[in-house]
Amino acid sequence: MPVRPPVPGRLVVPVRPPVPGRAGVVAPPTRVVPPRAPVVTYPGWPLKVAPRPVIVRPPQVEVRPLVPPQMFLPPVVFGGVVVNVRPGPGYDRGFSRDSLVWQDHVSLYAKDDWTEFSLGCNALGAKLWYEVLVGRVQADWAEVVYENGEAQVVEFPKHTLGPGMYVLLNIGEGRRVDHIRMVAKTTSHEARLRLWMAR
């Protein structure tokens, strides 16, 4: 019977042969690291640095095709200002859970190094938030693609960020974001980050 190759990113649990007089021993799960590939960019890509070789993480749930970028807006630089205050509704000084319209999260692993992932948003909002939940994360850039194909690239400085909430992008007038593509890595053993969109 043919043996299927392991699926990249999935856990593989090897089973050792049973020892006489003992039950079969299951080794700890090991994670298969997918191969690296250059980042795919579209015509008009605004950053001048050469794309990094990355591990491409497939979307967790593929329920619809993502809109490809057709026109890039001028890039913006990530401010990196942590937001500690989360006021209630009616305030615009920080994050409010009452204004939340979308959120998604991803885990990063040290052995993967630079990783590309896409989070499908398909929501209408005015502000995007970037939150490091656990560990330390160094992001390279984030590509925010709107439903009409316009794209805004957010360039990150070359330093790591610890747990906290940060403003990723002020969209201004409410616009529908199709998805967010990002390249990042963790400088700790493992990290978890989350993206939010607010009205």
Domain assignment of residue 71, given as a range: 35-198
In the block, residue with structure tokens 């593509």: 181
- Look at residue 26 in the predicted model and tell me its pLDDT: 57
Cβ burial of 151 (10 Å; 0-12, 13-18, 19+) is: buried
Ordered per-residue pLDDT tens for the chain, 199 residues: 554 555 555 445 455 555 555 555 555 556 566 778 889 999 999 998 888 899 998 876 656 788 999 999 999 999 887 775 444 444 444 556 678 899 999 999 999 999 999 999 999 999 999 999 999 999 999 999 999 999 999 999 988 999 988 999 999 888 999 999 999 999 999 999 999 999 8
Evaluate whether 171 touches 129 at the Cβ level (below 8 Å).
Answer: no
25, part of any domain: no
- Look at residue 116 in the predicted model and tell me its pLDDT: 96
User: Which residues are CB-neighbours of 99 under 8 A, at least 6 positions away?
Assistant: 89, 198, 199
147: left (phi over 0), alpha (psi -120 to 50) or beta: alpha
8, part of any domain: no
Q: Hey, is 111 helix, strand or coil? A: helix
The pTM score is 0.77
Residue 187: both structure tokens together: 């400088």
Question: Sign of the CA dihedral 144, 137, 64, 4?
Answer: positive
159, part of any domain: yes
Number of domains the chain contains: 1
Evaluate whether 108 touches 184 at the Cβ level (below 8 Å).
Answer: yes
- Look at residue 35 in the predicted model and tell me its pLDDT: 79
DSSP readout, 136-176?
-EEEEEEEEEETTSEEEEEEPPSS-B-SEEEEEEEEEEEEE
122, part of any domain: yes
12, part of any domain: no
14, part of any domain: no
26, part of any domain: no
70, part of any domain: yes
